[in-house]
Amino acid sequence: MTQIERYLFQQLRGPTIWAIVALAGVGILSQSLSGLELIVDQRQSAWVFVKVTALAVPKMLSLIIPLGAFVAAMLTFNRLHTEQEIVVCYAGGVSRWRVAQPAMRLASYLALLTLVINIWVAPLASRNMRAEINAARADLAAALVREGQFTQPAPGLSVYAQTIDRSGLMHNLFIHQEHQGGNAATYTAAEGQLARRDGAPVIVMHNGATQTLSNDGQLNYLAFEEYVFDVSPFKVAVATPTTKAADRYISELLHPAATDDWGQKNRDVMLAEFHSRIAGPIYNLTLMAFAISAILGGGFSRMGYGRRVAWMSAIAIGTRILGFVVEEAAGHSPALNVLQYVTPLAGLAFALGPFILGGRLRLKKPSTPKLAKLKPVGVR
């Protein structure tokens, strides 16, 4: 790289990183709102919430990185134009293509990073996130009690707690258990706490009583100060997790196992996911080209490029949305997978057209005003 290209690359690198971080923060915020279910409904710890939120980030990066580079390049080139630095490059004989090369080089690096994420990082994070969510839903101690509701987390077991404070302490606890053979037992307690004893989930109840009804109809009543109710014999019915297309590696997408029923029935969906992962990184180049073309793609203007920026932004966003539509359609018709490559490549060719056809930008020389001819004044 020449000194000018190295300077332009440095000017682009910092804003691109910050734009990607900012968009990732927005994505994490939206993901965290949906992940609050783990704390509110499943009563999981904050650490589980943080892990699930963090594991969702790699999947979002394939969309965030091209958009971050697009926004950063647009702002950076507009600033360089405002400060007349691009004009100085043109005046020094630097072509538009050489000015655009650092940005396209940065987009190439981002495309390679996105490809690595799509092939290895994203599926690994996605399947770990699904495992964490499934483990949270299968946690009997977490799903046992809902504040102010009668729940039946397992056959023959009914649980109710009037209130649950922030520390997890349950007030006015009620548990009804039906045994085999018709026997039943009812437990009431002023307070109760979910805990684990020897690795098993239990409910430690305080200041309560137990009532049991035998087969002959005799009622037994026993008051207690502390009673440990073991809930480990009960099992929560949780559906067996299915490995979706987003959780699979490339080899699993192309060659599902013979025992994989879901994979065998959804071969078209998995093939579309494979092509999406390979074609997705191209959008780094496409969106970067649109950002460059918005500022450098036409003639020089002292009034700015507001209209051209608006048009190029609209076309860039439309191209990316069209990519999502094509990906969804390819899941039903494998013949459309070729369009997953045609869409970003066509956008790339359209955006780079002014650079390929225009060559070196030539600035118009300012016209010299013509002086009006003065008629000689006659001498009296």
Beta bridge partners of residue 227, listed in sequence order: 205
Give me the pLDDT at residue 22, please: 95
- State how far the Cα of 202 lies from the Cα of 313, in Å rounded to an integer: 58
Q: Regarding beta strands 184-197 and 200-213, do their DSSP bridges make them parallel or antiparallel, or are they unpaired?
A: antiparallel
- State how far the Cα of 145 lies from the Cα of 162, in Å rounded to an integer: 10
Give me the pLDDT at residue 38, please: 63
- Which letter, b or e, does each residue of 257-268 get, where b requires 16 or more Cβ atoms within 10 Å of its Cβ? eeebeebeebee
pTM of the model: 0.77
- DSSP-assigned letters across all residues of 198-238: TTEEEEEEEEEEEEEE-TTS-EEEEEEEEEEEE-TT-----
- DSSP-assigned letters across all residues of 129-141: HHHHHHHHHT-HH
Give me the pLDDT at residue 8, please: 94
Give me the pLDDT at residue 360, please: 42
Give me the pLDDT at residue 372, please: 53
Give me the pLDDT at residue 136, please: 67
Cα angle 330-336-337, degrees, rounded to a multiple of 5: 75
Nearest to 65 by CA among 254, 331, 320, 373: 320
Give me the pLDDT at residue 113, please: 97
- State how far the Cα of 285 lies from the Cα of 291, in Å rounded to an integer: 10
10-residue mean pLDDT profile of the chain (380 residues): values are: 89 95 91 68 71 90 95 93 86 86 96 96 91 69 73 82 81 86 85 82 90 78 90 61 83 90 90 96 97 81 75 94 95 95 96 68 47 54
Compute φ and ψ for 276, nearest 5 degrees. -65, -40
Give me the pLDDT at residue 353, please: 83
